[in-house]
Amino acid sequence: MHRLFRYVTVTVLLVLIQIFLNGYLLVAGAVMLGILIAVIFPGQNNFLFHVLVIELLIGICWAIFAVENTAQLDNLAVNTGQTTLGWIVSIILVNTITIFLCLATPVFFATRMRKDYKETAERKKNINLIN
Amino acid sequence: MRRFAAPLVLLFITATWVVITSWHYRGLNSVQQLAAYNKGILSKKNLPRNRQLSVPGAPGEANISIDTLGIPHIFGKDEAGLAFATGYMHARDRYFQMELLAYTVMGRLSEIIGKDGIYSDQNWKRFDLEEKAKIIMDSLAISEPGLYHYLQAYQDGVNSYLNNEEEKFRDPMYLVWNYSPRPWKSYYSFLIQWYMSFELTFYDDYINRQEILDKLPPSIRDLVYPDHKDNQPMIIPSTEQHQKPADQPFTRQVKIFQPGQPNAYNARPTNPDLGSNNWVIGKDHTADAGSILCNDLHLFLTTPNIFYEMQLKGPGIHVYGYSIPGVPVILTGHNENIAWGITNGGWDVTEQYLLKTDPSNNNRYYLDGRWQTMTTKHFVLDVKGAGKIDYPVKYTVFGPVVQTTNITYALHWHPAQWSAGLQSFWKLMKARDWNEFRQALRNYDYPSQNFAFTDTKGNIGMICAGKMPVKPVGYNGGLLDGTQSPDWKYCSFDSLPQSYNPARNYLFSANQQPVANGYYSSRWFSDLYRPKRIDTLLSQARKFQASDMQQMQLDITDLSVRDLQLLIKKHSDKNRLSANWRSMLEWDGKLVAQQREAVFYKTFRYAAGESSKEIAAMLGVQAPPSFDQFIHLLLTHDSVVYNGKVIVIKDIFQKLVTRCDSLYQMNIDNPSLNVQAYAFSIPQMTFLPTLDIQVDDIGGSDNTINVNYGAHSVVRTVIETGKDGIHSWMVNAIGQTGRLNEKGYSQQLSAWKRNALHKTQFVGRPEELKAVSTTIIFKK
């Protein structure tokens, strides 16, 4: 499948789960997306790195979206002795880490299982050859 | 399996992260929910500004102009519109606070904050105040129909706001505590009155007092725990005639403690610094031949502050001042004719009755010569995250039963019987002169308050108002006999301490004893220095202006320093004193935050507290003498002989000096402690960590006019009356709104620190207002 199409697909799905889901649903959505990536794009270990970048970009987009809300974040910062940037970065990090971990776990498992399956099949093939 | 080690580790990390970030710690929302882009903190919006809103469906017509400090100026065409608009604004700015207070008093706090609310709920449930509030509300329909309809319209205004509020504009505290606002009910206003009564009147040290009465002979008691306030300035000037209320017939004394018997009672902690200052000066003391009334209210300061500034103008009413969200009346402020300010009376309105229980059946108690059965009521606490808990409470004719390890008593908290405070403030807002002012307070009950008064004609007055229980002859603060049926009586209004246009032409109260007539009204008039300081300043032969009064509210001179100077002279050799102690002798007692003398004195006060505890331990009792009793003992005696032991006062003082030096040195050696006199932090009202606001460089102590210790001047007012009407200046310690994401949350903090009061906009028409940011119009 064309690489650009893959990224567009993953990005759209990431945006959707972040718009419509939160809490446990967000976790479940990210896991499902991880399984989807593992199934549709097998053997793409480095793909997760790109997902992480996409995820961070989405987070930053949310932060920019929140700029119209800067006043409330500035007030939160003043009233809590924190900084506006601190609030934004904290929120982006929580979401990014959650989605990335939930997404990466099934992909890692699928990659290892696939590798395991391939090696087992290779061994069987070699045994057959020796015999 | 080894090849799956890495994914398994990742799985573990993921699971741990998900569990931690999804955890609802102590009833709070999870980090996941708070951080969610679409419904979390980021999705919240500020309330709309610089616009006109139109709200249909109101029971009356009104419009609100909100100025840039967030203060609503409400102009109603009728009382229903006025009440509706007030409810709308209270809900808009403070609904989380209103709801939290009402649920606290109903004993339902754990529904909001989970298990941490159980202790509070158990305390409140036993008074069953939700049911009593409903009864009071129903009774108003007949006794005060005007107020009844006013509270109904207020309820409608609150709920109108809640029903029309979009989620993005909802107070973020609801998100943090993971619940949604529930509808307001008109009778909740009485619950909030009770909350204030509890804060200001509920004491729980009767068993500790009984221990002193039982164990110490009167000679020792008078030495260490003296009642020596007769030479202090009283609220009512000594030149005024005052009638002594009648005493109850003598009730049998009780005795609990034998010599040497330990006292394990864990009294509910109370904040001795809650109180307030008010003073009013007449024509003789003002530069403009009018009168000036000042008020600053001392409470434990949280964000949001409990007071809310507003102006109400409608048919027959035009009033400005501070209300409490949930209670739609002005508690301190002025109308077009009179001004008033309040301080806590601090009267003893709690009674603990020692019960004699049946050893074979602890549901029975001995009363009037026979065994009676206690009634039991089962309450249900619906604890967030923990389900429902049964909470049985036993009752006697006195009230709910409290069982400790070896003492069983019944609790009678007089304010829990009824609530008439709101009704009085309702009338007070419309009063036009001293007679109507008195009439409004005639049925006032709790919390007992000292009401300062002035009017546009320059008259001044003071009424120590409340429903004061008549105490038995000879009562001195312990438990009462629970084997005889109670016969509660109250002092008549006319017998309460009050003064009108006294010869000296000024009046003040600072939570001191109201009058020296030998009548027992309380044991907690312990701050002798603040009243004396106010009296000293007001009695100067000079003419004051409003700006002088603002300066006086900032006064941080602690007169207790003079007693320390006397102590040093009495017990120390001047030539052998260290530099710090020598500096005390020359110091003026101004508690400037960073000043070395002030920090040293603060250390001395702490060390004195520790020495007081040691004296109590030597006497074998739990309650230490108060600071003024401790100082009095050290100043007036050289030794105390008790049980054959001699307590040498000079030794106590020398030990205190050593302790103070050592503590001070420890503070100096550790600059990171940043010890000041006085710095503090203001916690958020649900005590959420990281939301505290730190306040430095403020100075003062618990004995200064500008009180800064366990309590702070949460609002300050200065009101000037004269030929051209009434002018006022006010400041709130924090801000108008309780919304953490609004500018108004802490907008006035800086001004409050400097006591830069803003001039209020007391105007007759909305067109006269300046700096209006938002207008809301209510239509039928």
- Enter the pTM of the model: 0.93
- The list of chain B residues with pLDDT below 70 reads 1-3, 50, 228-230, 241, 673-674
CB contact under 8 A, B6 and A112: yes
CB contact under 8 A, A105 and B38: no
CB contact under 8 A, B35 and A95: yes
- Does the pLDDT at position A44 exceed 70? no
Block residue for tokens 């709690």? B350
The pLDDT score that the predictor gives to residue A8 is 80
When pLDDT is cut at 50, 70 and 90, the band that residue A43 belongs to is low
Contact assessment for residue B177 and residue B27, using Cβ atoms and an 8 Å cutoff: yes
User: What residue in B sits closest to A88 (Cα-Cα)?
Assistant: B42
Give the gap in angstroms from C-alpha A84 to the nearest C-alpha of chain B. 11
B6, B39, B746: residue with CB nearest A22:
B39
Contact assessment for residue A54 and residue A10, using Cβ atoms and an 8 Å cutoff: yes
The torsion angles phi and psi of B63, rounded to 5 degrees, stand at -140, 150
Distance (Å, whole) CA B487 – CA B479? 16
Give the gap in angstroms from C-alpha A123 to the nearest C-alpha of chain B. 16
Give the gap in angstroms from C-alpha A127 to the nearest C-alpha of chain B. 22
Q: Which residues in chain B are closer than 8 Å to A98, comparing Cβ atoms?
A: 17-18, 21, 32
Contact assessment for residue B104 and residue B195, using Cβ atoms and an 8 Å cutoff: yes
Structure tokens at B496: 């309460």
Give, in degrees to the nearest 5, the angle at Cα B686 between B307 and B704: 50
Question: Which stretch of DSSP H or E encloses residue B442?
Answer: none
- Does the pLDDT at position A19 exceed 80? no
Question: Which stretch of DSSP H or E encloses residue A14?
Answer: helix A3-20
Mutate to test the interface with B, among A21, A48, A75 (most CBs of B within 10 A): A75
User: Which tens digits make up the pLDDT trace of B63-118?
Assistant: 999 999 999 999 999 999 999 999 999 999 999 999 999 999 999 999 999 999 99
Mutate to test the interface with A, among B4, B39, B741 (most CBs of A within 10 A): B741
Of B743, B690, B734, nearest in space to A86 by CA = B690
The pLDDT score that the predictor gives to residue B740 is 93
Distance (Å, whole) CA B519 – CA B272? 22
Mutate to test the interface with A, among B1, B37, B690, B739 (most CBs of A within 10 A): B37
CB contact under 8 A, B42 and A69: yes
CB contact under 8 A, A72 and B742: yes
Give the gap in angstroms from C-alpha A81 to the nearest C-alpha of chain B. 7
> What is the Cα B263 distance to its own chain's centre?
29
Q: Which residues in chain B are closer than 8 Å to A24, comparing Cβ atoms?
A: 22, 32
Decide if A75 touches B, using CB distance below 8 A.
yes
Decide if A120 touches B, using CB distance below 8 A.
no
> What is the Cα A66 distance to its own chain's centre?
21
B42 residue type, one letter: L
Distance (Å, whole) CA A82 – CA B655? 44
When pLDDT is cut at 50, 70 and 90, the band that residue A55 belongs to is confident
Q: What average pLDDT score do residues A87-98 get?
A: 87
Give the gap in angstroms from C-alpha B140 to the nearest C-alpha of chain A. 41
CB contact under 8 A, B37 and A62: yes
Contact assessment for residue A58 and residue A18, using Cβ atoms and an 8 Å cutoff: yes
Distance (Å, whole) CA B564 – CA B559? 9
Decide if A56 touches B, using CB distance below 8 A.
no
> What is the Cα Rg of chain B in Å?
28
> What is the Cα B478 distance to its own chain's centre?
24
Interface of B with A (CB under 8 A): 3-4, 6-7, 10-11, 13-14, 17-18, 21-22, 30-33, 35-42, 44-46, 172, 303, 690-694, 740-743, 745-746
Q: Is the dihedral of CA B424, B425, B426, B431 positive or negative?
A: positive
A72, A82, A108: residue with CB nearest B10:
A108
Give the gap in angstroms from C-alpha B51 to the nearest C-alpha of chain A. 17
Residue A95, Cβ density class (10 Å: 0-12 exposed, 13-18 middle, ≥19 buried): buried
User: What residue in B sits closest to A101 (Cα-Cα)?
Assistant: B14
The pLDDT score that the predictor gives to residue A130 is 63
The pLDDT score that the predictor gives to residue B2 is 67
The beta-strand segments (E) located in B22-155 are 51-55, 62-67, 72-76
Q: For a pLDDT cut of 70, what percent of chain A falls above it? A: 89
A19, A26, A91: residue with CB nearest B41:
A91
The residues near B725 (Cβ < 8 Å, ≥ 6 apart) are B336, B456
DSSP-assigned states of every residue in B277-298:
EEEEE-GGGBTTSSEEEEEEEE
DSSP, res A59: H
Structure tokens at B755: 């006591």
| Residue B508: strand, helix, or coil | strand
Give the gap in angstroms from C-alpha A60 to the nearest C-alpha of chain B. 11
When pLDDT is cut at 50, 70 and 90, the band that residue A57 belongs to is confident
Say how many CB pairs under 8 Å bridge A and B.
Answer: 113
